[in-house]
Structure 1
Amino acid sequence: MFKPMASIFENHQIAGHYRAIERAQKCIVPFHFEIQGREYPQPKPEKNWFRRLSGTRSEKHATVELTPSKVVLWSPEGRNLGEMPLDAIDKVQIGAIRWHVQAGLDPRHAFRATIFVLSSKGNYYFANSDMDVLPAICQFARQHNLPVEDPLHLIPLLKSGWHAAAQKLHDTYSEIVAHTGYPDSKV
């Protein structure tokens, strides 16, 4: 019988939300990221005037918050799903996968950033629609002495800007992922 690895995240306050952490151990789960006060992707401006005045949002997302001491997962409702100390992380791997997208669309929308948090107690797989999260994660990891793996060599590619990088990634994705374990097809 399959038994999932023990989760390193603590403070599982709501039994039903524990599945979000368990799911992130088994497959790539879309999450927003908040790194040093900046959200990835940037939230869209609220159109409802009452929500703008009250400071609330119509759109709510599950979020991974990176703080100087820990990683915190938040539910869309703002509940703490779990926390993991930064020193429990062995390394972070960044990458990109093809996403469901129709042919002929802007290649910037064809990829999702992947962030794999690897620890001795389990691995966690996250996806984000904003590729600018990758340089921010690398900078955060450098500041906190976390090893970062970039098997697709995306950071040098992203220095030219996401539009140019997306076109090059779109044209050469099959060759880039050939021996990395990343899927060549759309996810």
Structure 2
Amino acid sequence: MASLSMKPPHTLTMLFAAFVLIVSIASFGECQTPTAPPPPCSSYSSCDTCVPHAKCLWCFATNNCTDYPVTWLFPPASVCKLADARWGVCWLNFEALVITLGVLGGVIVLAIVSCCCYCCCCKSSHSRLDREDEQYARRREESRQRSEERKTDRKARHDEIRRKYGLMGDPDHPYSKFENE
């Protein structure tokens, strides 16, 4: 049977992938429509329309919307005082927002540090308890061995005394018949 193409199958796959890539790039360029730039922050006239935009900052002292100074973490006093600045929501001033986030961050860091310290202390106390249990078991085993040695020594002494006085259970001993009855 004759094949549809004289080229190896992996070459056809590569050509198909290249074709799909070229078509998708060409269609991507055609589908993009230029978007209008967002209006400047100064065009917003109220706090409710200004603060939803992350790049805008509302100042109650001057009642205007300004660009958030991205070069600074906190807006400088020349732009607006922290107590009068609103960013994100109108009901929370920037000063309270910064204090709240600082406290929450501190609490989270403190919780993480205390959890780490607790885990380290518990681990060391567990290892200490394990060491104490091991020492206790070793002492108990040594005590048991000493007890066995004493018992063996005592039995050897008693056997020696029995042999000395002839109480070992010899069958030709005159009293052995009384022990068996």
- TM-score normalized with structure 2 length: 0.19
| Structure number with larger C-alpha Rg | 2
More relative contact order in 1 or in 2 (CA 8 Å, sep 6+)? 1
